[in-house]
Amino acid sequence: MDFGRRGLAWLVGWYALYQAVHIPVNLRALARLAAGATMDFPAPPPAGGWSPDAVAFFAGMASLDLGNALLALVFTWGFYRRRGWAMPLGLITLTVSLYAALLFAYATHAAGAWRPPGRGSYLLIYTAFLPVVALYAVLLGHALRGLPPRGREGPTSSG
């Protein structure tokens, strides 16, 4: 998958917007979980509510995800300022974002939260995440093409 500079800039902008929205959502979820309330937005609970283990899991995940969202905004700033460190940081934050999205999808689906009426909320979250997956594919493709071919200028393996 290859995009021109404008397409890449759009995807990075979308990622920034997604993560900028993600920060207050995570802060709200953490505050609600700390107060003993249920996590209800943007991820409605299953019919029986969240188990105590799920609450602990989501609290830890939201904390790490919050840090990643802040780093993602640093990446986007660096990208638009054409800083050399931006692409490696972007690959790191996108890898964490993708991993967190897959883990969150699995945990919420396994808990039964994707059944109606909550299904629409989860589909909206993941539809909005699709451009982030595309950005990851584009940046990873650029990074892989930038590596020297095996057996040439790259590192050699020693015995």
Q: Over the stretch 73-88, which tens digit does the pLDDT of each residue have?
A: 999 999 999 998 999 9
Q: Which distant-in-sequence residues (6+ apart) come within 8 Å of 43 by Cβ? A: 104, 108, 113, 118, 121, 122, 125
- pLDDT, position 150: 44
Is the C-alpha dihedral spanning 25, 26, 29, 34 positive or negative?
Answer: negative
Domain boundaries, the chain: 5-145
- pLDDT, position 51: 87
The one-letter amino acid code at 122 reads Y
- pLDDT, position 3: 57
Q: Does residue 93 or residue 41 have the better pLDDT?
A: 93
pTM for the model stands at 0.84
What does the alpha-carbon distance between residue 29 and residue 37 come to, in Å, rounded to a whole number? 9
